[in-house]
């Protein structure tokens, strides 16, 4: 061990850590999905709303596009959410980089499953709290990038 107690990690160490996180996220999401009978939305939304309350953001009365842009900036290390178009209260977005998709790929799980649904409900909860309006996202397409339709009331 080094005198300054720094830990040297190899790329293999990172791969092993990613697999462990993937296993834990999958177990957590699958358990919630099984317990809730597939209705993970309320759990994710409550968690997202709680998270948003802790963000040091005061957006006033933001539009959907403004809210998504702020969140993209805050979450860019793990997610890349780009707004393709906004018409009124509906945003069509593309999720490029996605930590959850990486976890699914790393553990051999199908994209769009329990972990994705839980994450999108969590994201909806964050947007809901920041905009102070109900929000519902629909996963339109999954793959190397995903398309999401987000609607506010």
Per residue of the chain (153 residues), give pLDDT as tens: 455 557 788 888 877 887 787 778 778 788 888 787 767 788 889 999 999 999 888 888 888 889 998 988 888 888 888 888 888 899 999 998 888 888 888 778 888 888 888 888 999 999 999 999 999 999 999 888 999 999 998
- Is 89 buried (19+), middle (13-18) or exposed (0-12) by CB count in 10 A? middle
- Contact predicate 131/152, CB 8 Å: yes
Q: Which domains does the chain have, with CATH numbers?
A: 11-152 (3.30.1380.20)
Rounded Cα distance between 116 and 130, Å, is 21
CA nearest to 97, candidates 71, 118, 78, 74: 78
């Amino acid at each position: 061990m080094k005198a300054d107690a720094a830990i040297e990690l190899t790329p293999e160490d990172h791969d092993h850590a990613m697999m462990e996180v993937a296993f834990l996220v999958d177990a957590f999401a699958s358990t919630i999905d099984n317990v809730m009978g597939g209705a993970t939305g309320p759990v994710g939304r409550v968690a997202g709303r709680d998270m948003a309350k802790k963000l040091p953001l005061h957006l006033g009365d933001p539009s959907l596009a403004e809210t998504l842009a702020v969140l993209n900036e805050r979450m860019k290390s793990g997610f890349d959410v780009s707004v393709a178009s906004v018409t009124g209260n509906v945003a069509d977005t593309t999720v490029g980089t996605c930590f959850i998709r990486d976890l699914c790929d790393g553990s051999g799980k199908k994209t769009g499953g329990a972990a994705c649904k839980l994450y999108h409900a969590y994201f909806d909860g964050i947007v809901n709290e920041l905009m102070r309006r109900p929000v519902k996202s629909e996963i339109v397409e999954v793959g190397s990038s995903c398309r999401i339709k987000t609607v506010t009331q």
